[in-house]
Amino acid sequence: MMWILLILLAILVVLGMWGVGIFNGLVVARNAFKNAFAQIDVQLQRRFDLIPNLVETVKGYLSHERGTLEAVIAARGAAMNGLQAAKASPGDPAAMAELANSQGVLNGALGRLMAVAEAYPDLKANQNMMQLTEELTSTENKVAFARQAFNDSVMSYNNKREVFPSSIFAGMFNFQPAALLEIPAADQAQVRAAPKVQF
């Protein structure tokens, strides 16, 4: 009789440790995608910090393009608000969609600003403009890498919460699915297009 109790107790301990392991795995995966989002936050903040300098640099050259400059500033504000909403709940589908949309609007406004700036050779040759453009390009690359790392972490978390038996624990302990940070629809064609080289 004592052996049966010991065996049952051992089985319960093993099952308990197994359940704790599954729960901890879900927590680790959730924390991993939240940390990956923090890296996106760092790069987007860097991008937001560069934009006022860029606007100030081009302001003297593009004084009659006030609408373009105001559009960039407004888009920056909207993108910052989108980031704040996403920071409050990384992985939330509505927050990720808002962030992606606001970043798309900012990308469009910056693209228009750069297109207008191309028409001014003195501005293109300006040392500050060249440095800011280079920093902005570098930051855009870092944002893309951070988005990829975040999406990989989200996929790993979602896979972990959907497979059996983790799905049981995910449902019991309210581990919600996380949403990817998609490239805004307006930017997808540009990102996927092959670069054109001219000599």
Q: Give me the pLDDT at residue 191, please.
A: 44
In the chain, helix, strand, coil percent, each to 5?
80, 0, 20
Over residues 131-135, the mean pLDDT reads 89
Q: Strand, coil or helix: what is 160?
A: helix
pLDDT-above-90 percentage for the chain: 62
Q: Give me the pLDDT at residue 195, please.
A: 41
CATH topology of domain 34-175: de novo design (two linked rop proteins) (1.20.1440)
- C-beta separation of 178 from 91 below 8 A: yes
Q: Strand, coil or helix: what is 120?
A: coil
pLDDT > 50? residue 70: yes
Q: Where are the domains of the chain?
A: 34-175
Over residues 114-125, the mean pLDDT reads 82
Q: Give me the pLDDT at residue 196, please.
A: 46
Tell me: the pLDDT tens digits for 170-190?
Answer: 999 999 999 999 876 555 554
pLDDT > 50? residue 199: no
Burial class (CB in 10 A: 0-12, 13-18, 19+), 88: exposed
- CA distance linking residue 162 with residue 168, whole number of Å: 9
- C-beta separation of 62 from 116 below 8 A: yes
pLDDT > 80? residue 197: no
User: Of residues 199 and 191, which shows the higher confidence score?
Assistant: 191
Q: Give me the pLDDT at residue 122, please.
A: 82
Structure tokens at 146: 């951070």
Tell me: the pLDDT tens digits for 79-113?
Answer: 999 999 999 989 999 999 999 999 999 999 998 88
Secondary structure in 3-state letters for 14-60: HHHHHHHHHHHHHHHHHHHHHHHHHHHHHHHHHHHHHHHHHHHHHHC
